[in-house]
Amino acid sequence: MEENVLFDPPAELSKNARIKSMDEYRALCKKAEDNYEGFWGDYAKEKITWKKPFDKVLDESKAPFYQWFVGGKLNVSEQCLDRHLETRKNKAAIIFEGELGDQKVLTYRELYYEVNKTANLLKNKFGIKKGDRVVIYLPMIPEAAVMMLACARIGAIHSIVFGGFSADALRDRVIDAQAKLVVTADGAYRRGKPYMLKPVVDEALTDECTSVEAVLIVQRNFEEIEYVSGRDYIYNELIKDQPVKCEAEVMDSEDPLFLLYTSGSTGKPKGVQHNSAGYILWAQMTMEWVFDVKENDTYWCTADVGWITGHTYIVYGPLAMGATTVMFEGVPVYPDPGRWWRMIEEYQVNQFYTAPTAIRLLHKVGNDEPAKYDLSSLKVLGTVGEPINPDAWLWYYNEIGGGKCPIVDTYWQTETGGHMITPLPGATPIKPASATFPLPGIIAEIMDEDGNPKPKNEKGLMCVTKPWPSMIRGIWGDPERFKESYFGTAKKNGQPVYFTGDGAIYDDDGYIVITGRTDDVINVSGHRMGTAEIEAAAGNHPHVAECAVVGKPDAIKGEGVFIYVVLKGEDNLAEEVDVMKEINQIIVKEIGPIAKADEIKFVPGLPKTRSGKIMRRILRAIAKGEEITQDISTLEDPSIVAKIQTCVLG
């Protein structure tokens, strides 16, 4: 029953919220619709500390390469640091807790100096200039944020690679971005034990990485590592002598701020490019609107800085608005599954933002753990990364939020830079598993490929029909792929519009429910992966003739990796167990442990159309144990379906 009920925002929260009611929300939406450029231009003037004001809000002449706040000059690190010094110099900017319980607080003043010193180091010691790419392969330690902001300060473009990626994956990203410097750590801690990062970098940096001039190493766990003389430098030593002030580079609104590689449905991961002004504006505005963080609040997002959520909602958004952001190195279940709840109590966290997969994991552990802690400081709960099931939503709402904290189910993507569709905590009546409505200024519509809106309860394409400031500016080095991937599917009034890759429906109340990807991208524990990448890795096993990867629903992870493998003709089935192990070893080597298969099934063939296209829909249905309802007569060999079913179901 509760699943269909609307939960109103608590009156007390609404009273003081930045957006206090649905009327206010609708008025803002109308303002944006009536005068789109005026709406965005006013916010850009109000929120950003410009070095030089912009001349034009939006330039659509090179669509879909849209340009925002044309002619404006700023520096994102100044937006996040310098301008807060007058009023917030002694306020905590970052509260860090390490896996082993070590704690560190950096005030805005301290963070400002750390960033300045690091910027000087990058510039003076390593010759990093505006436009150079710096790959950051760091654990969740404050130095990751310092490094990002130091790059921003000198105009270098950072590209963070998540620590769970393998040496091969790191190498691909280093080469694609032609990075000049790689920043890493000796290692970090996971589940209480040290693990190593630097050896992965050593393995990644082969002769192919001709662009890399140096490796900068942050000492985190002080484990013994090898140093390559003339290439490797220790951050902790070099930073000591750096001057504490570094002039911020004058950056154009449209100068790139960072690249972040993400998976698509085909080919290699793509380097999603975000630029300066539009990105930081929306990072800040969504922090303010969606989490409604107040001056003395403590905000905690549990994401990793290696993903977009960590970029926008651990570092850039919170710091741009002058908030206190908690950063945690570890996992939710170490040393026990009460870790996060203890931290909420200890730091008196007011806004807590995490992923459905973690919520499901902690839900499974039960109510005893959260019940041990005082969670009454919480005001707003957030979730992101994949659809959340009503069960997990209700547990989060009742057991963690005590039935008094709105849940903001924020729908967005690496490419969107910030939130797109989400409740507003003081305004939107919420319901389980709905991201509700687009934010003011975001023109998001569920439609068909020709731009016709979908009626209620009919699945359509989740599109954004007007450009927005924090949108992806390009795929690094591949403008054609950018156009094709995002603007090649749907049109409105004959003009290409942005398609997210997700399906969605308007429910009976007109609320938006995201139904998941419509392309060959899967979401495993909130990690976005292309099935094509996993297939390419598995296909490298010498016994594999061909394979197909699909996502199989998983109670905790959302989706698990399920691989159908066709072995080469003469190969002996007796070797299957070894082959399974080896396939996973190859996946771990080429991508990383996050892409490991949960299930591998050997089948005599794959269901293909006469033109050779693999019918993944059939494979998804078989993996789920569903009946095949679709017409299989068009398959090259319809009998293959029953044979595959026998292999999978036994």
| Sites of contact with ligand PRX (CB under 6 A) | 262, 307-309, 384-387, 409-414, 435, 500-502, 514, 516-517, 523, 528
Identify the residue whose tokens are 């910030």: 418
Q: String of b and e for 402-437 (b: at least 16 CB within 10 Å)? A: eeebbbbbbbbbbbbbbbbbbbbbbbbebbbbbbbb
Enumerate the β-bridge partners of residue 256.
275
Can you give 8-20 as a three-state secondary structure string? CCCHHHHHHCCCC
Shortest distance, CB of residue 277 to ligand PRX, whole angstroms?
Answer: 21
Shortest distance, CB of residue 585 to ligand PRX, whole angstroms?
Answer: 25
Shortest distance, CB of residue 603 to ligand PRX, whole angstroms?
Answer: 28
Nearer to ligand PRX, 75 or 389 (CB): 389
Question: Nearest CA to 568 among 543, 586, 547?
Answer: 543
CB atoms within 10 A of CB 531: 24
Shortest distance, CB of residue 515 to ligand PRX, whole angstroms?
Answer: 8
Question: Nearest CA to 505 among 515, 497, 491?
Answer: 515
Tell me the C-alpha distance between 310 and 317, whole Å: 10
Shortest distance, CB of residue 423 to ligand PRX, whole angstroms?
Answer: 10
Q: Using the 8-state DSSP alphabet, how is residue 393 labeled?
A: H
Nearer to ligand PRX, 121 or 177 (CB): 177
Nearer to ligand PRX, 414 or 485 (CB): 414
Nearer to ligand PRX, 14 or 500 (CB): 500
Nearer to ligand PRX, 276 or 414 (CB): 414
**DSSP-derived secondary structure for 68-126:** EEET-EE-HHHHHTGGGHHHHTTSEEEEEE-TTS-EEEEEHHHHHHHHHHHHHIIIIIT
Tell me the C-alpha distance between 254 and 55, whole Å: 13
Nearer to ligand PRX, 123 or 517 (CB): 517
Shortest distance, CB of residue 168 to ligand PRX, whole angstroms?
Answer: 20
Shortest distance, CB of residue 421 to ligand PRX, whole angstroms?
Answer: 8
Residue nearest to ligand PRX (CB): 414
Nearer to ligand PRX, 357 or 500 (CB): 500
Shortest distance, CB of residue 526 to ligand PRX, whole angstroms?
Answer: 7
Q: Counting every residue, how long is the chain?
A: 650
Nearer to ligand PRX, 276 or 416 (CB): 416
Shortest distance, CB of residue 311 to ligand PRX, whole angstroms?
Answer: 10
CB atoms within 10 A of CB 571: 16
Nearer to ligand PRX, 270 or 363 (CB): 270
Enumerate the β-bridge partners of residue 326.
95, 300
Report strand pairing: 181-185 vs 133-137: parallel
Nearer to ligand PRX, 298 or 309 (CB): 309
> Are the CB atoms for 121 and 244 separated by under 8 Å?
no
**DSSP-derived secondary structure for 238-285:** HGGGS-S--PPP-EETTSEEEEEEE--SSSS-EEEEEEHHHHHHHHHH
Shortest distance, CB of residue 420 to ligand PRX, whole angstroms?
Answer: 9
Listed in sequence order, the residues at least 6 apart from 317 whose beta carbon sits closer than 8 Å to its beta carbon are 283, 284, 286, 287, 418
